[in-house]
């Protein structure tokens, strides 16, 4: 493909860690810390220091040898790289149990993802107010997405309705979807989907629990550790 000036592509694994660094840098900054070494950051993020340096090197060389990284500047650079220099409006589809928790969750606004609208098909849910946002009928989705320039949609419907919800979001113009339903969504190329499935998470945990039990039962001298989540 295009050889040279192709914008340094940041590896997926790194993209997934940058928000974690950002979070903890913000936290330290709030605590008055102005400088941190890769070693410090690594300790806080429970990862290898070399990994931290390599990750940060993808977005530029903002460290100072012998000193470390200026926290404020680094926060700025990571934020910019993640596209946090402006707000991204989101819409939430499904105003049930989870949808209401999400709508009432302050974190969206704080982090720069204002909730532009919540949608449901259940008439009893429509026009209720959740977290200061009035629930609208799903049919109003296209209008809101267009008017408010929404590019991120959250799917919080039952699994059976999730694909329909995703289809509507895509049709309305949304190009990123955060899906909480236990289904694999099918979307056209060019649309990014991330699924957060509680059941999957629990099953991954119970897999490890099960191994642990098997090991303890003395069947095998298993000794490995630190799987997918973080340990320390």
Ligand X SMILES: NC(=O)c1ccc[n+]([C@@H]2O[C@H](COP(=O)([O-])OP(=O)(O)OC[C@H]3O[C@@H](n4cnc5c(N)ncnc54)[C@H](O)[C@@H]3O)[C@@H](O)[C@H]2O)c1
Partner DNA sequence: CGACGCTCGTGCGCACATTCACAAAGTCGT
Partner DNA sequence: ACGACTTTGTGAATGTGCGCACGAGCGTCG
Residue numbers 52-91 binding DNA by CB under 7 A:
53-54, 56-57, 61-69
Burial class (CB in 10 A: 0-12, 13-18, 19+), 211: middle
Shortest distance, CB of residue 140 to DNA, whole angstroms? Answer: 38
73 is a site residue for a second copy (CB under 8 A): no
Of 96-135, binders to a second copy (CB under 8 A) are 97-98, 100-102, 104-105, 107-108, 111, 113
232 is a site residue for a second copy (CB under 8 A): yes
Which are the contacts of 147, defined by CB distance < 8 A and separation ≥ 6?
none
49 is a site residue for DNA (CB under 7 A): yes
Question: To 10 degrees, what angle do helices 49-59 and 12-30 make?
Answer: 100
Binding span for ligand X by CB under 6 A among 40-48, 70-78, 98-106, 207-215: 98-106
CA dihedral 88, 92, 93, 95 (to 10 degrees): -170
CA dihedral 67, 73, 79, 83 (to 10 degrees): -120
Which are the contacts of 198, defined by CB distance < 8 A and separation ≥ 6?
180, 182
Binding span for a second copy by CB under 8 A among 18-26, 29-37, 120-128, 138-146: 18-26
97 is a site residue for ligand X (CB under 6 A): yes
Among 52, 74, 90, 95, binds ligand X (CB under 6 A): 95
CA distance 196 to 38: 30
Shortest distance, CB of residue 70 to DNA, whole angstroms? Answer: 10
How many positions of this chain bind ligand X (CB under 6 A)? 27
Burial class (CB in 10 A: 0-12, 13-18, 19+), 47: middle
CA distance 78 to 19: 8
Of 65 and 223, which CB lies nearer to a second copy in the complex structure? 223
Among 22, 150, 181, 185, binds ligand X (CB under 6 A): 181
Of 63 and 103, which CB lies nearer to DNA in the complex structure? 63
Among 29, 159, 191, 215, binds ligand X (CB under 6 A): 159
- Residues forming contacts to DNA in the complex (CB under 7 A) are 11-14, 37-39, 47-51, 53-54, 56-57, 61-69
């Amino acid at each position: 493909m295009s050889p040279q000036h192709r914008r340094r592509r940041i590896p997926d694994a790194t993209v997934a860690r940058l928000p974690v660094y950002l979070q903890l840098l913000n936290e330290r900054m709030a605590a008055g810390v102005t400088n941190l070494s890769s070693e410090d950051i690594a300790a806080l993020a429970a990862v290898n220091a070399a990994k931290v340096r390599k990750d940060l090197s993808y977005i530029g060389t903002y460290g100072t040898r012998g000193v470390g990284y200026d926290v404020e500047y680094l926060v700025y650079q990571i934020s910019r790289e993640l596209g946090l220099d402006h707000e991204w409006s989101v819409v939430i589809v499904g105003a049930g149990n989870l949808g209401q928790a999400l709508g009432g969750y302050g974190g969206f606004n704080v982090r720069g993802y204002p909730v532009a609208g919540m949608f449901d098909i259940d008439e009893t849910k429509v026009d209720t107010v959740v977290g200061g946002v009035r629930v609208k009928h799903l049919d109003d989705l296209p209008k809101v997405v267009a008017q408010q320039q929404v590019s991120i949609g959250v799917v919080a419907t039952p699994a059976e309705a999730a694909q329909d919800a995703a289809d509507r979001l895509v049709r309305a113009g949304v190009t990123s979807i955060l899906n909480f339903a236990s289904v694999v969504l099918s979307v056209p190329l060019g649309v990014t989907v991330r699924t957060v499935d509680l059941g999957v998470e629990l099953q991954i945990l119970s897999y490890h629990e099960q191994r642990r039990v098997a090991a303890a039962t003395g069947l095998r001298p298993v000794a490995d550790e630190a799987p997918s989540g973080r340990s320390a």
